[in-house]
Amino acid sequence: MAMDPSLVSFFQGDYVPLVEAKIGVLTHAFGYGTGCFEGIRGYYNAEQNQLYLFRLREHYQRLIESSRVLMMKLRYTADELSEMTLECIRRSELRQDTYIRPMVYKSSEAIGVRLHDLDDDLVIIVTPFGNYIDIDRALKVGVSSWKRIDDNMIPPRAKITGAYVNSAFAKSEALQNGFDEAIMLTAEGHVSEGSAENLFMFRKGTWITPPITENILEGITRDTIMTLLREELGQPVIERPIDRTELYSADELFLCGTGAQIAPVGSVDHRPIGSGGVGSITGQVQRLYFDVVRGNVARYDHWCSPAYNTGAAERPEAAHARNGHEAGTPIPAAIPA
């Protein structure tokens, strides 16, 4: 990824060019994976000349929860973090699909494995970003030989940087074996998720997704899809354990996440899912999802935070995000450390 000198990040308490946001090689998070992060997308709507950040506050609430798991004190509220992100977007003058990567990390330059008695810091990075994986066709996936981490090992409900080594093993194995993506099982043999995506299976007239007790990330996109399936498409959705071989007899299957978005699956372990192409309901979900995230479905405006004041009447939710949790108190453009 080329470093664009015009991109602005929030780093060590101020807005700085991304090219200047550097950490030392002795930083604890670099040596031990003691950080947590979020992946957030912004979608550009050319007709409205607006960039919408999708479910921004929910992502930051999850980042705060992940920080607590790692014994870190994030001194900003979700509303303040949202405004800081919008400020990075505006200063970078991004008017295209965008990826936001906020990270809270153990910033002490220290040797020794622990979580307590270390300094914490925050960085927010914004950058142009397209598709993480090919979502215009049905993917070939394989069940990984690498098992999903367990809540009593590295809590998967927190987006801990070091935990993604588990995903990296599965992803490389899948790609090197000729698949597009991996599906990971729990130690008990139940389906958990992809290498970095939640999973939905359509079987016998019902959509099924693994519950949070199967060591999944409590995905914001997952929650979005459950809402859209039920409220917009009238589809039944349940959460229950899924066995590996159930995947082979599924009628439709897709993976979802902020990075992957809605990724149809056409085969699992060389066995076709349905006709082997994009399922009919999956296609509907995908189209609806992209309408929602680009701010084209008024019912879900509260999920979309606009980056720019285009002169139109501002949504109440956007005003809330801009002004912070204290009514009428604007958040300053630079927040001191």
Helices (H), 70-139: 78-92
Token digits of residue 269: 């372990």
- Do residues 214 and 190 lie in contact, with contact meaning Cβ atoms separated by under 8 Å? yes
Burial of 9 (0-12, 13-18, 19+ CB in 10 A): buried
Q: How many CB atoms lie within 10 A of CB 268?
A: 24
- Active-site residue, 159 included: yes
Element (H, E) at 239: strand 237-239
Q: Select from 235, 239, 218, 314 the least CA-distant residue to 282.
A: 235
Q: Is 92 helix (H, G, I), strand (E, B) or coil?
A: helix
DSSP 186-219: -TTSBEEEESS-EEEEEETTEEEE--GGGT----
Token digits of residue 102: 């906020």
Task: Given the residues 147, 159, 171, 204, select the one marked as catalytic.
Answer: 159
Q: How many CB atoms lie within 10 A of CB 332?
A: 12
Give the active site residues.
159
